[in-house]
Structure formats: structure tokens, C-alpha cells
Amino acid sequence: MAYTTIDKPTDYFNTITYTGSGTSTAYTVGFSPNFVWVKKRDTEATDHYLFNTISGTEEALYSNLTNAEETNANSVTSFDANGFTSGNSGGTNQSGHGYVAWNWKAGTSFTNDASATGIGTIDSTGSVNTDAGFSIISYTGTGSAGTVAHGLGAVPKMIIIKSRNTTSLWGVYHQAIGNTHGLFLNATNAATSLSAYWNNTSPTSSVFSLGGDADINKSSDPLIAYCFAEKQGYSKFGSYTGNGSSTDNSFIYTGFKIGWLMIKKTSGTSNWTIWDSVRQSNEINKPLWGDLSNAETAQSTVKLDLLSNGFKIRGNGSNVGSSGGSYIYMCFAENPFVSSTGVPATAR
């Protein structure tokens, strides 16, 4: 049975759904979020809107696009003590439309002067939560190989990077595909050989490595990195192989009841599927797509169950369960399977 130091995961990650009001409205998350990812769910294609406290309010990136950061007026106008406030932007708060917001807490200010500390070679600043294994790191690209301090005090298992000023791909490192390959959050590509991304070097407990590729290290460009370390009973970043069954596909043990899950096929092209425990109860067949603006719609072959100790693939669609297909995932808990006091989570 899994042991965790995080008995209440919703203190660090939480999903909320809401109906847009069309006017400035505060939405309750349960903590002050540092990373807010909003998606309109219904009726029409709308981009994903990603905000963080380092870039600031109304400064949006879009996981399904290569666009540089844009000032999106009347979107997330403040990060509040217990949530966030949105104006009347169609991407975050159009009247009468359904939305989901996924929220992460970092919170502790972080600064590293690489020449002064001897940690890394590129200066970095940001916001860090070592308890939850999450940091948002800002740095300026150099165009040549270097290392960046991430502040976690643990090895990141997944890193997502985007240039703020330049049209560029979203670079993704995942421990299951290693330091010689990468993925792109905005695209369907299989794991791609990319020596110029991570300099063929795995992250350490203090830094992550960069090559000279312009997507993740363009000279003089400001970049944002979302860094995730694994915390037992709260988060997991792993891989699995699909078996091709349309009803009884792979089971993946995580050690907790999942609140949020993102999956990507690495052995072939596929979309990034995003699932959570708030929008649907099992059997879940309405993913959102991290690389697409599509509205939420039911799928016949892309479906799964979120269980008390992991997830079970229930479809054989290429996005989640093709026979012999290799997949990576990242997920966060709704409840630990067993808390620090030995109390088990209840099944769905």
C-alpha cells in the first residue's frame, strides 16, 4: 500500500468546472493557484488558455498552438487567495458556456544566480512547491548548451517548456522516453530524436539540461518551464503498453485515486488526451485534447476508468490503447490510495 505525505491533494491541485458569467467573476479553487489551465468544454472549438503567476495576469499561452505569449484582455485578471478571477473573455468566461479549469499551486518565490551559487549555468527565477514537486521556472535562452536550476530538490520526471516571445513548439521531456527524445504538447508527433533539446543529459535534483534548440533555448528569448517531480501518493509520471482490447485494456497502478490524467502515445502519432474526475464519472469517454481546440464530445474507442489506485483503459483507440502501442502519462491525485494515517481511499 502506498504511503504519502500529502493527505489532501486538493490543497495542491484541483479541478473546477463552471458556467461562464460574461462578467468579471471570482472562481473558487481552494487555494491560490500559480498555474491555471482553462478550456471551454461545449459547443465550439476554442483554444486552451494557460496562465501562470510568473508571466502575470492576462498573459496567455495556448497548449494547442505555437503562438508566442499574448495579452488576452479580460481573461484571468487576478490570481486570488482562494482561486482566480476572470473577465468576459470568450476563452475563459463567455456567458452561458461551460468551462473546466485545472489548477496547480507552487507559491514559494525562487531565484538562482548561477554564477553566484554554482548551480547551473543559466540564471532562473520562478515559483516552487517542493512538497508537491512542482515549479514554474523562468529563464532567458542562450542558444547554446547549458543547465537551469529548477528548485525542486528532487529529479523532475516531466518538464514542459515554451518560449514566451517566439512562435515555437512546446518542448516536453518525460523520463520514460529519456534524454535523447522529446515530444511536443501542441502536436501529435511520436517521440522524436532530439539531441539539441536536452543535450542528451537527464535532469538532476538541482538542474535540467538544455541543448541549443530554439524551441527551448533561443538566444535572448524569455522561456517558461513547468517542472514536475514525482510524489508518492500524489503524482506519477510513467508509461504503459496498450493491448488492443476494446473493453479490457491495460490497467496502470498509480497508488492513488486519480483527479487528473494526461496521456500521449510515443510509438506513433496521437493526440494528447486529458481526463479528470470532475467532468465525468466512470466510464469516462469525453477527453479534452491538449493539442486541439475541439469541444468536449463522447468517444467510442477512447475511454477509461479512474480507479482508487490507478486507471483502466476501456477502449482500443490509438490515442489510449492500440495493441503494442507505447504511451506516457502524467497524473495527479484526488485522494491517496492510503493516507499517511493508513486510511484507504474509497473506490468510485
Q: In angstroms, rounded to a whole number, what is the distance separating the alpha carbons of residues 346 and 348?
A: 7
Decide: helix, strand or coil at residue 178: coil
For residue range 33-82, list pLDDT tens digits in order. Answer: 999 999 999 988 999 999 999 999 999 999 999 999 999 999 999 999 99
Instruction: Read off the pLDDT of residues 243-299 as tens digits, 9 standing for 90 and up.
Output: 999 999 999 999 999 999 999 999 999 999 999 999 998 899 999 999 999 999 999
Q: Give me the amino acid identity at 261.
A: L
Burial bucket for residue 332 (CB in 10 Å: 0-12, 13-18, 19+): buried
CA distances from 129 to 55, 122, 133, 254, 324 (A): 17, 21, 6, 21, 37
Give residue 270's Cα distance to chain centre.
Answer: 17
Quick one: pLDDT band at residue 3, thresholds 50, 70, 90? confident
Contact in structure between 215 and 237 (CB atoms under 8 Å): no
Q: How far apart are CA 256 and CA 234, in angstroms?
A: 7
- pLDDT tens per residue across span 191-212: 999 999 999 999 999 999 999 9
CA distances from 223 to 140, 157, 227, 283 (A): 6, 19, 13, 38
In this prediction, residue 1 carries a pLDDT of 47
The DSSP symbol for 198 reads H
**β-bridge mates for residue 26, sequence order:** 85
Query: Mapping DSSP to helix (H, G, I), strand (E, B) and coil, where does residue 233 land?
Result: coil
Count of C-beta atoms within a 10 Å radius of residue 200:
15
Query: CA-to-CA distance for 131 and 221, rounded, in angstroms?
Result: 30
Please say whether the beta carbons of 9 and 336 come within 8 A: yes
How confident is residue 339, by pLDDT bands cut at 50, 70 and 90?
low
* pLDDT single digits (tens) 315-331: 999 999 999 999 999 99
Assigned C-alpha cell, 247: 473493453
The per-residue pLDDT for 336 is: 83
Q: By the 8 A CB rule, do 335 and 306 touch?
A: no
User: Which phi and psi angles does 214 have, rounded to 5°?
Assistant: -65, -25
User: In what helix (H) or strand (E) does residue 192 lie, and over which residues does it extend?
Assistant: strand 192-193
Of 219, 204, 252, nearest to 122 (Cα)?
219
Which residue has cell 518551464? 225
Q: Which three cell numbers stand for residue 218?
A: 533561443
Angstrom distance (rounded) from CA 104 to CA 31: 9
Q: How far apart are CA 55 and CA 262, in angstroms?
A: 24
Residue 129 CB contacts under 8 Å (≥ 6 apart), including other chains? 12, 34, 105, 106, 107, 108, 135
The pLDDT mean for the chain works out to: 95
Distance set, CA 229 to CA 29, 223, 234, 291, 337 (Å): 22, 20, 10, 23, 19
Distance CA 54, CA 109 (A): 10
CA distance 335 to 344: 9
